[in-house]
Amino acid sequence: MASNLLSIHNHHEEYTRTWFIHGERVMANTEWTMQGVEFANCNCSTGCPCQFNSLPTHGHCRAHTFFHIERGRYGDVVLDGLRCGLMATWPGPIHEGNGIWLSVVDERANPAQRAALEAISHGKDTDPGGSLFQVFHTTVSKILPTEFRHIDLDIDYGARTATLRVAGLLESDGESIRNPVTGLPHQARVSLPMGFEYTEAEFISGKAKTTAPIDLQFDGTHAHLAKFHWSTHGVVR
């Protein structure tokens, strides 16, 4: 593989590779990286067996995940301060496929930023198995047109709370799992050293409701918060 490397060009600490394959000049993935915090909520019971390679609680999966980018770049396109997310549903376990996917991109993004976030959320410019977007995108059979909406996302990682409002699409909230006897917050932290979404996450309880086009109606189901550092080549650890 190294013998195919033609050149490396540096642009603001990012680079684009040019390869020479079968006599043709081929551009490799645009390098990207993002750091920030994520709020995810699905229809499984709190804890979500999917996180441990078990089947989903109800035999099928419905979920959303939204994230705030504290620092990010797609090639030379700066993504700092923007938000993005996805809403998806599968008729069975995710790995069996036939999912429906909707990417939602911050309406504040300019055209270049919109294109960058749409590409990343569709699993493009990413090594196979390198991100939750790339992995999940291999399991969907229908991709809905990307929505550009106002995304109001407030995550307090230390307090284990989240509030999400996507204009005209989604309302979702997260809070600590509660002790069923005392009602006190119950903290559950999970580490996945080889995970394709996060290395560590706070497991919480979530609720959500949507209007269209993907039906998500949760109340007291699994949710998690994670500090992420994603890139073209996977989770940065």
Whether residue 120 is predicted with pLDDT greater than 90 in this model: the reply is: yes
Domain boundaries, the chain: 1-30, 31-235
Residue 44, classed as helix, strand or coil, is coil
Helix (H) or strand (E) holding 208, with range, is strand 200-210
Q: 208-234 pLDDT, tens per residue? A: 999 889 999 999 999 999 999 999 999
Q: Which candidate, 102, 77, 65, 89, places its Cα nearest to that of 222?
A: 65
Fold of 31-235: Acetoacetate decarboxylase-like (2.40.400)
pLDDT grade for 27, boundaries at 50, 70 and 90: low
- Asked if residues 214 and 87 have their Cβ atoms less than 8 Å apart, the reply is yes
Share of the chain above pLDDT 90, in %: 87
- Asked if residues 233 and 127 have their Cβ atoms less than 8 Å apart, the reply is yes
What is the distance between the alpha carbons of residues 228 and 35, in angstroms, rounded to a whole number? Answer: 5
More confident residue, 167 or 20: 167
Mean pLDDT of 29-58: 96
Distance between first and last Cα of the chain:
25
- Predicted pLDDT at 49: 96
How far, CA to CA in Å, does 140 sit from each of 98, 102, 204?
A: 5, 10, 27
Nearest 5°: phi and psi at 63?
A: -160, 160
Residue 104, classed as helix, strand or coil, is strand
- Predicted pLDDT at 61: 97
Q: Which candidate, 60, 38, 37, 46, places its Cα nearest to that of 214?
A: 60
The overall pTM is greater than 0.75? yes
